[in-house]
Structure 1
Amino acid sequence: MQSIPVDTSRLGVLRCAVAPEPKIADYEKQEVKKDREGNTIYTVAVMVRQDRRRVSVIEVAVTGEPKGVIEGAEVRITGLEAFSWAMGDRHGISFRAAAITPVMPAPSKGGGA
């Protein structure tokens, strides 16, 4: 499966739509998916909005729990890659990232009343 790097600077504002959840590998056994080193894979639903266009939601997989990522918060995605997949008559695109981190708001300028 070939990965396709995604230029996140062209995606506009990214916001967490659904907080990080462990990715389930086997729903019958409720088995959590792990990477080769045994780390838990998490998924985060991310809202993508470009130039006042409608919002799209993509589900991004990432190794390890993204700390500080909460619903509604603006996020930064590092190392985003897309993968096309096909299983029988089903097909789609999945996304994986090296990291998902919250964007901290700029500190307000001092000089209180």
Structure 2
Amino acid sequence: MQSIPVDTARLGVLRCAIAPEVKYSNAETKEVKKDRDGNPVYTVAVTVRQDGRRISVVEIAVTGEPKGVTEGSEVRVTGLTAFAWSMGDRHGISFRADAITPTPGATGKGGGAG
């Protein structure tokens, strides 16, 4: 699986759409997904506002629970990487980051100048 670094500076304003949730490796047993070092993996849904009004939502996996990240808050995503995957006739792109943190000094839900 090839990793593709993503330049987050070109993505515009990033906001948390769904607060961090633990990621499960098995949804039926609620077994928490772990990274190579045994740390829990979390998922954060982030909105990406591209050209004006168009908004996309991407789910980003990150090791450890991102502290201070709440729904509607502006966030900084560090070390974002995309991975192309395929399983049988299914395929897609997944995202992983080194860290997701609140943007210092940013306003919460819908605030700030546009």
TM-score, length basis structure 2: 0.90
TM-aligned CA deviation for residue 50 of structure 1: 1.7
SS at match of 1:21: strand
Deviations 1:57-95 (Å, cap 9, x if unpaired)? Answer: 000000000000000000000000000000011100000
| 1:109 corresponding residue in structure 2 | none
The corresponding residue for 1:60 is: 60
Query: How many correspondences in the alignment?
Result: 106
One-letter amino acid of the counterpart of residue 36, structure 1: R
How do 1:31-110 and structure 2 match up within 5 A? 31-105=31-105
- Structure 1: distance between partners of 2:87 and 2:104: 39
Partner AA of 1:84 in structure 2? A
Distance (whole Å) between structure 2 residues aligned to residue 59 and residue 69 of structure 1: 14
Instruction: Give SS of 2:9's match.
Output: helix
Matched to 2:83, the amino acid is F
TM-score, normalising length: structure 1: 0.91
Q: Which runs of 4+ in 1 moved over 4 A?
A: none
Query: Aligned-residue CA RMSD in angstroms?
Result: 0.9
- % same residue: 75
Structure 2, gaps ≥5 residues long: 107-114
Q: How does 1:7-46 map to 2 (within 5 A)?
A: 7-46=7-46
Q: Distance in 2 between matches of 1:45 and 1:27?
A: 18
TM-fit CA distance, 1:51: 3.3
Q: Quote the offset at 1:104 in angstroms.
A: 1.9
